Structure 1
Amino acid sequence: MTTEQIKTGDGQVTVWLDGPAWDDHAKTATIGKCKFNSAEAGTRLLDKAAALAKSHGATALIGPMEGDTWHSYRLISERGTVPPFLMEPGSADHDKAAFLDAGFNVIASYFSASAALSDLPGPKPQDTDIFSIETWDGTDPDGLFTQVHALSCEAFAKNPFYKPISLDDFLAMYRPVVSLLKQELILFARDSKGDLVGFLFGIPNYAEGPAPASVILKTYASLQKGAGHWLSYQFYVNAKAMGFETAIHALMHDDNLSAVRSGLNGADVFRRYSLMGRSL
């Protein structure tokens, strides 16, 4: 990725000049790794970043986003009182004001929610012969993430702000967390031919310490109707059997099916996030 850093005594930002598509803009850049001493300092840095992106031909700037949605993006718009969880993006309380004062608007909204596992998993989904659910056997993590990469690229291709990622870059992101993985929290849906049609990636919330009480439903994707429901059901069953007390539904778009599923399972929203955009 082509990046440029802007650094002053008041803070710093990094600009990615080859960002994902946004609406009908000819070229979008992104801005991330934002560290502002104040809202006013942030606004000045964001204006500098916008001028830099425009000088390189960008017609829009979105952020916070470290190049694409595979990496860290979004700012916290409503913090609440729940402590940060593992892999959650962070931002200062004044960051949103800095973006708004620099001419950005909210272009997408997200939330995280939690639910007591004592209230889950709810009714068992209807049995099916179309696919089966299996748990990762704990071996060959590169093979695991190679499968997840291929299905993710297909399942997420129509999502807003989608941009492809190479397998090498994808593996580089996930290899550092292999030691944290629990095989019972990584689930696959396979069709009758054994082809992967869905996956769910969960991880203990080690931000609470070495013996966390909460578990994060980080990502799931499905190419087969009904597989997502089965994957989440089995995730709750497994997490409950492992002794976890709370499930965190992490970083869901306000409009997607995950948000609907979270609502159906009685989850309580504890944090909200925004992605910001500005035409240049």
Structure 2
Amino acid sequence: MVVAHSFATDDASFPEWESAGGPAEPLPNGVRCLLARRDNAPVARLAWGMGSVGFIGWYEARDSEAGVALLRQAREELGRAGAREIVGPLNGSTWGRYRWALSGTGEAPPFLGEPCNPPEYPAQWEAAGFRPVAEYQSRIFHDPEPDAARLRASEERAAEQGIQLRPLDLERWDDELRDIHALSLASFADNPFYTPIGLRSFHAANNRLRPLLVPELVRLAHDAAGRLLGLAFAYPDGASGRVVLKTLATAPEARGLRLATLLTEQIHAVAQERGASAVIHALMHVSNRSAQMSVDRRTELFRRYALYAG
């Protein structure tokens, strides 16, 4: 028999909740934890909270029946809390871990930073009444080589417009992060289920990434006044020989300048110079311009993902 328990993070049961799955991202204030036990042993966990929408995240289930039961209970509790829309998996916001990787959409080893989950998790959410509300994909560009003509034309057009391109300057880390934070808030504001993040939290998250960074794989585009207009954020994928292009961001006022094309081709050029075997265009919403750009470059599907609502 499955027995579920609901409690706050300061409850005595919280250490057992933590032990019911792998290491969890930090929980924000105000979330509720749910823990399922079978024969007095923890077999599933999740946490839910309220932001711009109701969200369910930090999901782990060793027992499918228990996981489905917790998801249904979380929906009921969120409904009583006033949630009109509930999405997941979402660990608080899209700045944390979210989305399920879908099975049968690519068997290549996961890249660094990719959502990884047991293949049965999406089916458990669907059994609890959730359905995909947003779809994403990663695509792979084998033997990366920049489109020389496109790169040259893009660089010439940028120069005519007074745009300067350079790599990340680690000696100016705090200043660089301040500008990237401001650009990210403006660029991503219209993304589904987006909520802004404070500079301190943004700084802390990126400090953890700093040891992985190769400055040449982070490309910045500034106008003549020094304002950051575009960003391409990529990093080496461990020992795999691949490069992961994780983020493309363009300031709203610069979206007609085709900076995303230029920055992407620059990443391809740097990856080729470093001897990378492939560039992964990572975690793109299927309706984003970046996804169509990737398809136009004759990339191959690497994996698909989904965010669910119920």
- Inter-partner Cα distance in structure 1 for 2:271 and 2:219: 12
Match of 1:214 in 2: 242
- Inter-partner Cα distance in structure 2 for 1:121 and 1:236: 9
Match of 2:173 in 1: 141
The structure 2 residue matched to 1:17, chosen from 34, 50, 59, is 50
Q: Summarize the Cα distance change of 1:123–1:32 in structure 2 as closer, same or farther, 3 Å threshold.
A: farther
Q: What is the root-mean-square deviation in Å for CA atoms of aligned residues? A: 1.5
Match of 1:181 in 2: 213
More moved, 59-68 vs 133-142: 133-142
Q: Summarize the Cα distance change of 1:118–1:172 in structure 2 as closer, same or farther, 3 Å threshold.
A: closer
Deviations 1:223-268 (A, max 9, x none): 2221111111111111111121110011011110110111111111
List runs of 5+ in structure 1 lacking aligned partners: 21-27
The structure 2 residue matched to 1:234, chosen from 248, 266, 271, is 266
* Contact 2:166-2:219 at 8 Å conserved across structures: yes
- The within-5 A match list for 1:1-280 is 1=28, 2-8=30-36, 9-18=42-51, 20=52, 28-78=53-103, 79-121=105-147, 123-125=149-151, 126=153, 127-128=156-157, 129-130=160-161, 131-206=163-238, 209=239, 212-223=240-251, 224=254, 225-278=257-310
- Inter-partner Cα distance in structure 1 for 2:172 and 2:223: 21
- Inter-partner Cα distance in structure 1 for 2:225 and 2:218: 20
The aligned amino acid for 1:172 is A
More moved, 82-91 vs 54-63: 54-63
- Inter-partner Cα distance in structure 2 for 1:156 and 1:99: 27
TM-score, with length taken from structure 2: 0.82
More moved, 255-264 vs 34-43: 34-43
- Inter-partner Cα distance in structure 1 for 2:170 and 2:143: 24
**Hey, which bits of structure 1, 4+ residues long, moved more than 4 A?**
none
List runs of 5+ in structure 2 lacking aligned partners: 1-27, 37-41
* Contact 1:199-1:222 at 8 Å conserved across structures: yes
SS of the aligned residue for 1:123 comes to: helix
Q: Summarize the Cα distance change of 1:134–1:30 in structure 2 as closer, same or farther, 3 Å threshold.
A: same
Q: Summarize the Cα distance change of 1:118–1:60 in structure 2 as closer, same or farther, 3 Å threshold.
A: closer
Q: Summarize the Cα distance change of 1:119–1:38 in structure 2 as closer, same or farther, 3 Å threshold.
A: farther
CA drift at 1:41: 2.4
TM-score, with length taken from structure 1: 0.90
SS of the aligned residue for 1:140 comes to: helix
SS of the aligned residue for 2:170 comes to: coil
Match of 1:23 in 2: none
- Inter-partner Cα distance in structure 2 for 1:91 and 1:265: 29
Instruction: State how many pairs are aligned.
Output: 266
- Inter-partner Cα distance in structure 2 for 1:163 and 1:172: 17
Deviations 1:163-192 (A, max 9, x none): 111111111111111011000101101112
CA drift at 1:132: 2.4
CA drift at 1:120: 3.6
The aligned amino acid for 2:43 is D
CA drift at 1:122: 5.2
Greater radius of gyration (CA): 2
